[in-house]
Each structure stands twice: as structure tokens, then as C-alpha cells.
Amino acid sequence: MTTTAVKSRHLIGLKGMPKSEIEAILDRAGYWEAQPVAASSALSGKFVANMFFENSTRTRFSFEVAEKRLGAEVLNFAAAASSVQKGESIYDTVKTLESMGIHGGVVRIKAVGVMQELAERIKAPLINAGDGNNEHPTQALLDLYTMRKHFGAIEGLTVSIVGDIRHSRVARSNLWALREMGASVRFCAPDNMRATELAEYAPYVGIDDALQSDVVMMLRVQLERHEGGLFGSAEEYRAAYGLTEERAGRMAPHAIIMHPAPVNRDVEIDDALVECGKSKIFEQMANGVPIRMAVLERALLG
């Protein structure tokens, strides 16, 4: 894993971001969420390029809604229909758009380390929309925003992140940000889905212990990143680590369920729980827009 850092107005990761800066973004998102009108001219005249070198639905549309709500001119880039298919490097693609005058870029990419390299060579501020299994900072920020809205504060919360920790950029960004904000983070995963390098920052616990938390955050089993399969079947995984209705019944009355989505219903979480009273899954998606508005404003206006 590369070292991530916030450099200038880029947002490459949350590792190393101070509590005061995280709080400032959450506060600004609260401002945008409270606005009675959907559209603003805050980024009028600014060109933002969405450069997704990896498939995405929620994150890309969430950024696009945020950009349009701020009045930005939006350019959407699809790797499948670009010169990347002709062999052009990702750096040259981003540099080309910068040369054309974009004021900022949102980048999703598979390779770990490329975001940091781009941030060091590209002057236009870049926002990481997910890089490999490294970081997904805006997802973690919207997760923290959702927790703060529900509990009033993040400090003192116990958050258990359950599932495919090894392949999860969401788990890593949440780990760094939650620790900085004073929460206690625990992981729960089968041995072959553990990221052993993270164990010094968050202990691994069994599923029964994970349920005894303020927040139970389920992760999608990323089947597309597995080679040869890491468990026998979806049913086997659900039985061992899924949030079933029976297990949810053992959570504390005040506890909430979170998931970054997309959801594998009846695999990591039972279908009946996705929209239950404890679930914040669709609220998380809604909160992504004001969080990304705050992040875009920070990047483009300083």
C-alpha cells in the first residue's frame, strides 16, 4: 500500500488528515444539505472532469450531481471510449485534460499508487474516487457524516467493519478517519479476507463480538477481485459472516447498520435488513452528495 496524504487541494486519502480538517468538511456538508434550493453558482465557470478508469455507478453519479448542484461545467470521461484503449498512459490522459483547462478532476482507478503520482505531477486539484484497495476518502467521509448525524458525535463510538477487509479501500479510509475522530474500530473477517498489515490499528474479532457495536458496517464481498474464490459458496459465507435477521436481532437497540453498496442481498446482508429501521444504507447514498459538494468546493475554491 502506498502512503496516502492530502497534498495541497488534492484529496488523495484520509490517512494523515487532521481531525479539524475532517470536521470542517463534515460541517460544510451539513451546510449544503440544509440549503433549500438544489442549485448553486458556487462553481460557476469551473470545469470538472470525471475520469473513471474503473467502472462505477453510485460514486460517479453522486459526484456528477454534486458538481451540477454547485454550477460546475461537467466533463465525463469513459476509459472504454478513450485513448487509454490505444495505449495512452493515465498520466498523459489526465495531463491532456489539464492542458485543456480543467479546474479539477475526479479520478477512479484500479492501480494503487497512481493517484499519489498524479497528485505530485498534476497542478489541477484531484479527488480520489477510489484507487484499488488503497483509499476511498469521500465514501468514508459520507460514512462519518452519517454516523455523526445519527449519534451527534463520532468520538467514543465502536465501529465494527465486517467482511472483505483485504480488498476494501472503504475499510482503510474509514479506519484512518474514525481513529482520528476518536472512534474505536474493529474488523471481522475470515482469515483469507484479512489485511494483516492493519491489525495493529484495529483488532480482529468474531462475528458475535462485532454485533456488540454502535455501528455494524458490512462490506460487499468483492467477487471480481478474488482469484479462484476465497470461500466455498455465498451460502457458506452468509452462514459464517453475513448479517442475518437473527444476528441483527442481537444488535443493541441503538445500533445502526451501514454498507457502502452495492449490496449483495442475502450474501453479506439479508434482503430484509437492507431497508429496515436500523439500516442507514440509502441515507449514506443521499449523504454522498453534500459531502462531495464540500470536497469539490474545498478542492476548487480552496
Per-residue pLDDT reduced to its tens digit, 221-264: 876 555 555 567 888 899 999 999 999 999 999 999 999 999 99
Fold match flag (19-135+287-301 vs 137-284): yes
- What pLDDT does residue 224 have? 57
Q: Is 190 annotated as a binding residue?
A: no
Q: Is 86 annotated as a binding residue?
A: yes
Coil, strand or helix at 194: coil
- Assess whether pLDDT exceeds 90 at residue 9: no
Per-residue pLDDT reduced to its tens digit, 77-121: 877 666 666 677 999 999 999 999 999 999 999 999 999 999 999
- What pLDDT does residue 4 have? 42
**CA torsion angle 187 188 190 192 (round to 10):** -10
Q: How confident is the model at residue 3 (pLDDT cuts 50, 70, 90)?
A: very low
CATH number listed for the domain at residues 137-284: 3.40.50.1370
Q: Is 46 annotated as a binding residue?
A: no
Whole-model pTM: value is: 0.94
Q: Is 179 annotated as a binding residue?
A: no
Q: Is 284 annotated as a binding residue?
A: no
CATH architecture of 19-135+287-301: 3-Layer(aba) Sandwich (3.40)
What percent of the chain is helix, strand and coil (3-state, nearest 5)?
Answer: 45, 15, 40
Q: Is 58 annotated as a binding residue?
A: yes
Distances (CA, A) of 167 to 17, 131, 171, 224, 228: 22, 11, 9, 10, 14
Cell matching residue 251: 444488535
Residue ranges of domains in the chain: 19-135+287-301, 137-284
- What pLDDT does residue 225 have? 56
Q: How confident is the model at residue 1 (pLDDT cuts 50, 70, 90)?
A: very low
Farthest-apart Cα atoms in the chain, separation: 56
Q: Is 121 annotated as a binding residue?
A: no
- What pLDDT does residue 293 have? 98
Q: Is 272 annotated as a binding residue?
A: no
